[in-house]
Amino acid sequence: MSTRETTVNTHCQTCPAYQNAKLHRLGIDVSNFDYAIALAGNPNTGKSTLFNAMTGLRQHVGNWTGKTVARAEGAYNFNGKNYKVVDLPGTYSLLSTSQDEEIARDFILFGQPNATVVVVDATRLERNLNLTLQILEITDRVVVALNLIDEAERHGLQIDVRALSKQLGVPVVPMVARKGVGLEDLLGNIEAVITGQYVTRPHRVKHYDPRLEKAISQLATQLEDQFPGLPNTRWVALRLLDGDPSIEQAVREGTLGELSGVGRSDEVLMLQTA
């Protein structure tokens, strides 16, 4: 996205004074936000480090899997708009989830953030793209934060960021979250995706058979009747056809509607009106 000359700005971008020009970290003050952002990604890719860089908070960062068990919230102001950031537990997949991974899945699916930042580990790109593609299936407002790019370079890996962005159809921002490198670029891209300045074309796998397509739309219609206002009914229908027991149970017990915030959580309702 950036048209600035990178050669001139290499030093500027790592300098806190440069970033502070547009970014104001608001810590835990999540009141009066204009937009809500979700931070998703595989375990141990630097989501919490990025969260801290964005919000100025000191959410516990550790080099082990499963550290963030519940979601943490913080906020920042960029270009005059307030953003609420939700740091989610790491997850490998939206399809086969353990209990703590369900928090992440439910928020991305039904919390309807204005944008989802997928934090990927540049040194383990192949493994990380599984979740990225799954998220692109359900939302087109995605920015990929290609974190740990310094480590990747140290391992002799060179990633063609432009090609990756073109193939995924969403912005890809190389980052070193620990040092704040790429932060401004990320925040700018989040803004551009939310405002529609950057029109995403998310990569989606097209393999559906007409019979499957028919079954999905039939089920989706029934789900819409049962749970009015529920987002991503097609995704839920596909999971039911897949035989996902946790989704099956949520439908049977009628708790699926709760996830979408229909008539329940005020917070999520605010997200929808924001």
Partner 1 sequence: MRLDELQKGQTGVVKALHITGPNRRRLMDLGILPGTHIEVEMKSPLGDPVAYRVRGAVIALRQVQAREIEITLDVPSTEAAENVHS
259 CB-contact burial (10 Å; exposed 0-12 / middle 13-18 / buried 19+): buried
Q: Which stretch binds partner 1 (CB under 8 A): 120-128, 140-148, 174-182, 208-216?
A: 120-128
Instruction: Please list every residue from 193 through 212 that binds partner 1, using CB under 8 A.
Output: none
Which residues make Cβ contacts (< 8 Å) with residue 170, sequence separation at least 6? 136, 140, 142, 143, 144, 193, 200, 201, 202
Under the binding rule (CB under 8 A), the answer on residue 5 touching partner 1 is no
Under the binding rule (CB under 8 A), the answer on residue 92 touching partner 1 is yes
Under the binding rule (CB under 8 A), the answer on residue 156 touching partner 1 is no
Q: Which stretch binds partner 1 (CB under 8 A): 26-34, 87-95, 158-166, 260-268?
A: 87-95
- Give min distance, CB of 62 to partner 1, in A: 16
Count helices and strands (H / E) in the chain. 13, 7
- Give min distance, CB of 127 to partner 1, in A: 5
Contact 78/98 with Cβ under 8 angstroms? no
How do strand 72-78 and strand 23-27 relate by DSSP bridges? antiparallel
E-assigned strands of 152-270? 172-174
Q: Which stretch binds partner 1 (CB under 8 A): 7-15, 191-199, 203-211, 241-249?
A: 241-249
- Give min distance, CB of 130 to partner 1, in A: 6
* Residue choice 13, 19, 112, 123 for contact with partner 1 (CB under 8 A): 123
Under the binding rule (CB under 8 A), the answer on residue 252 touching partner 1 is no
Please say which residue, 114 or 123, places its beta carbon nearer to partner 1. Answer: 123
* Residue choice 14, 77, 93, 222 for contact with partner 1 (CB under 8 A): 93
* Residue choice 1, 24, 67, 95 for contact with partner 1 (CB under 8 A): 95
Contact 44/65 with Cβ under 8 angstroms? yes
106: closest CA among 194, 223, 224, 230?
230
Please say which residue, 100 or 244, places its beta carbon nearer to partner 1. Answer: 244
* Residue choice 73, 100, 224, 244 for contact with partner 1 (CB under 8 A): 244
**122, amino acid identity:** A
Q: Compute the radius of gyration of the chain from its Cα atoms.
A: 19
Q: How far is CA 134 from the centre of its chain?
A: 11
Q: Which residues bind partner 1 (CB under 8 A)?
A: 92-93, 95-96, 123-124, 126-127, 130, 242-245
